[in-house]
């Protein structure tokens, strides 16, 4: 008799946990709907997402992961329930990849400033569009801004800084 009781308690406990997990999943799902969602195009079609010292596929993956992490973190700046959907149409990383001796390096000069083109749509918690449009941003003075060392080491500092400025100017700081 004891074994049936233990089995019944175990089954009820497992069912309770699965129902609780379902409610947590729906809360996580609701939270994942807020923030910044990014849709990427083909990196080969972008103006300059060239790898310097690593395989192209690895570099493209690193660029995407770095920006996705940045957008996820920066999405927390949006008011609760708002979602910013972005479709990246073009990306030109700061600098220019050139061959020097036996390897490629990305050199930074005033001439090779970062650019990004994207469409965006900001929606509220109710799903209504708050603001939308197309953006073409560039930072022709990218080499002359003060750098925060920690953020500079993250990678793609200039492009992320450029996006932060656009975000604050266009959507306002929350």
pLDDT tens column, 81-112 = 999 999 999 999 999 999 888 888 888 899 99
Phi/psi region, residue 101 (left: phi>0; alpha: psi -120 to 50; beta: rest), is left
pLDDT at 114: 96
| Of 152 and 78, more confident | 78
Q: Specify the DSSP class assigned to residue 95.
A: S
Q: How confident is the model at residue 146 (pLDDT cuts 50, 70, 90)?
A: confident
Strand partners for 84: 36, 122
Task: Return d(Cα 171, Cα 79) in angstroms, integer.
Answer: 11
pTM here is 0.74
Cα torsion for 6, 12, 18, 24, to the nearest 10°?
-110
pLDDT at 36: 94
pLDDT digits (tens, 9 = 90+) for 110-127: 999 999 999 999 999 999
Find, among 87, 85, 90, 155, the residue nearest to 116 by Cα: 90
């Amino acid at each position: 008799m004891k074994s049936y009781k233990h089995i019944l308690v175990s089954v009820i406990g497992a069912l309770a946990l699965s129902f609780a997990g379902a409610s947590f999943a729906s809360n996580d799902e609701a939270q994942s709907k807020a923030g910044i969602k990014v849709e990427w195009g083909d990196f080969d079609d972008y103006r300059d997402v060239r790898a310097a010292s690593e395989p192209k596929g690895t570099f493209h993956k690193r660029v995407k992961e770095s920006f996705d992490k940045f957008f996820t973190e920066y999405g927390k700046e949006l008011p609760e329930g708002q979602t910013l959907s972005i479709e990246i149409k073009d990306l030109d990383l700061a600098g220019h990849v050139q061959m020097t001796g036996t390897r490629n390096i990305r050199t930074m000069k005033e001439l090779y400033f970062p650019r990004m083109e994207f469409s965006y749509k900001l929606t509220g918690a109710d799903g209504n569009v708050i603001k939308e449009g197309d953006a073409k941003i560039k930072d022709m003075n990218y080499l002359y801004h003060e750098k925060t060392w920690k953020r500079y080491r993250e990678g793609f500092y200039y492009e992320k800084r450029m996006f932060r400025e656009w975000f604050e100017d266009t959507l306002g700081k929350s």
